[in-house]
Amino acid sequence: MTARMIELTRVDPLSLGKVNALFGFIVGLIVGMMTLITSGVVASYLQTLSSTDPQLITQTQQFGFFGMLLFLVLGAFLGFVSGAAGAIIYNVVAKILGGIKIGIEEP
């Protein structure tokens, strides 16, 4: 088997942006779930205190829910933007310096 070298000269910004958006969404989901769980724990603790305002407990629960939504949307959006921008920057640099060389084995 012999390895053939090819050069990656261009990356499509839209396709890399979509892939990065998915990764950002997954990270946002994980961070959002941690925010939701943490706000639930804090809300449960606040319920045990007799002097706690019920409105504060509701606001804490709402913070967790909206925090999760925010992390999901923000993660996907920033993932798309960073992926597309990274592809554009790579394309400019690859045009000037040359692309990344990749070895592919053929059977």
pLDDT in tens, 67-97: 899 999 999 999 999 999 999 999 999 999 9
| Nearest partner of 36 among 77, 58, 66, 57, judged by Cα | 66
> Do 80 and 17 contact (CB within 8 A), yes or no?
yes
> Do 89 and 10 contact (CB within 8 A), yes or no?
no
Q: Kindly report the pTM of this predicted structure.
A: 0.80
Mean pLDDT of 37-64: 82
> Do 73 and 28 contact (CB within 8 A), yes or no?
yes
Worst-scoring range by mean pLDDT, 21-30, 48-57, 75-84? 48-57
Type and span of the H or E element at 102 = strand 100-106
Residue 68, phi then psi, degrees to nearest 5: -65, -45
**Residue for token digits 């925090």?**
67
Positive or negative, the CA dihedral 97, 102, 103, 106 is negative
- Which residues, 6 or more positions from 94, have their beta carbon under 8 angstroms from its beta carbon? 8, 9, 10, 100
